[in-house]
Structure 1
Amino acid sequence: MRALQFREPIDTERLALRLQTDADIDAVYSWQSRADVCRYLLYEPRDRKTVAARLAEDSRRTRLEANGDYLQLAVERRADGRVIGQMYFTVDNAEYSTLEIGWVFHPDVAGQGYAAEAARALLALGFETMGAHRILASLTPENTASVRLCLRLGMREEAHFVEDMFIKGRWEDTGVYAILDREWSANRG
């Protein structure tokens, strides 16, 4: 798998996926502070100071090469410049050319196809630019919107781990969905 130094935004029909900046604080805080959004995430709702610290840390991460390297990208709606979500890409296993994808969007834009559009752009980056063999998503199976998105993207459920993570004071299941490069190529044709 080829390393990636992320510099230029990825433009889709309606979106720009770009590195986050300090100027994104209001937008990111608008969903990271909400209990209904954080319900399916690994963290509790965040205060503004924590969001600012995470933005500062994430904005320094621009390279995907070694295990654990990640990008946290802002998803900006091109029509009005509003940041409506975040996309996450991490090197899960460099030796086996495996990446992990994730997303979070403001509830106000749910059901408009933005998550699918952004995820397809990131899958294309992983498979077509980086040469990944496999891209996976790990999520709680209770997050039915993300499960449906994985299936819409051509991913299949590969595993359902029962109570494998202790998060926010309770045991949670994890669902793993994935797609291979050859499946991505076949679906794109």
Structure 2
Amino acid sequence: MEFSTERLTIRPFLSNDLHDVFNIYNNDDICKYLLHDTWTHENMQEEFNKKLENRTLTKEGMLSLAVVNDTNVVGDLSVWYTDMKDTVEIGYSFSKTASGKGYATEAVSGLVKKLFDEFDVHRIHANLDARNEASQKLCERIGMRKEAHFIQDFWNKGEWTDSIVYGMLFTDLK
């Protein structure tokens, strides 16, 4: 999958994207709400190789996409099918330098439209750490609705955390 929005190109990762992506995931503030730890120089190639391999959305495989502004990767989008028929989950991370410019809203909004239009999904959802207010606001800006707030349901990085689930159907698109 590859597409463009007004200011961005969304495409599969390329090998020369490594350092831009490392700059996203080598940041404790960005990774504190994610399931994985901050990338290090020792593990960055191994972690990045996983993104390079995720080039096609299938029932068995995740899709990872680079969000590119000019020539720099400013974000990472992920999509995978859940166990429920025609349902996908999305995830996203953006560099600190992209913060406040609307890139995340533009990219994720474009992604959900593509998923509904070209992959004929029935439902899209996002499962968030409840402390991640920026991610909650992003979900709401693109038309997702808050459907659940689970209390201390997820053990991550040595602590129990709350989870929030946002969801949307095609009819929820703004």
- What range describes the TM-score normalised by the shorter chain of this pair? over 0.9
What residue is the counterpart of 1:179 in the other structure? 168
Counterpart AA for 1:83: V
Q: Segments of 4+ in structure 1 off by > 4 A?
A: none
Q: Is residue 43 of structure 1 aligned with residue 32 of structure 2?
A: no
CA separation of 1:22/1:49 partners in 2, compared to 1, >3 Å: closer, same or farther? farther
C-alpha deviation, 1:76, in angstroms: 0.5
Q: Is residue 92 of structure 1 aligned with residue 82 of structure 2?
A: yes
> What is the TM-score when the length of structure 1 is the normalising length?
0.87
State the identity %: 34
Kindly report which structure 2 residues correspond to 1:9-88, keeping only aligned pairs within 5 A, or say none. 9-66=2-59, 68-77=60-69, 80-88=70-78
> What is the TM-score when the length of structure 2 is the normalising length?
0.94
Counterpart AA for 1:30: N
Cα RMSD of the aligned pairs, angstroms, is 1.3
Counterpart AA for 1:75: V
Kindly report which structure 2 residues correspond to 1:118-133, keeping only aligned pairs within 5 A, or say none. 118-133=107-122
What residue is the counterpart of 2:126 in the other structure? 137
Cα separation, 2, equivalents of 1:49 and 1:119? 30
Q: Gaps (5+ residues) in structure 1?
A: 1-5
Cα separation, 2, equivalents of 1:72 and 1:97? 18
8 Å Cα contact 1:20-1:55 kept in structure 2: no
Please, which of 93, 108, 132 is the counterpart of residue 97 of structure 2? 108
8 Å Cα contact 1:154-1:179 kept in structure 2: yes
Q: Gaps (5+ residues) in structure 2?
A: none
C-alpha deviation, 1:65, in angstroms: 2.5
Q: How many residues get paired?
A: 174
Cα separation, 1, equivalents of 2:54 and 2:32? 26
C-alpha deviation, 1:111, in angstroms: 1.0
Cα separation, 2, equivalents of 1:63 and 1:30? 24
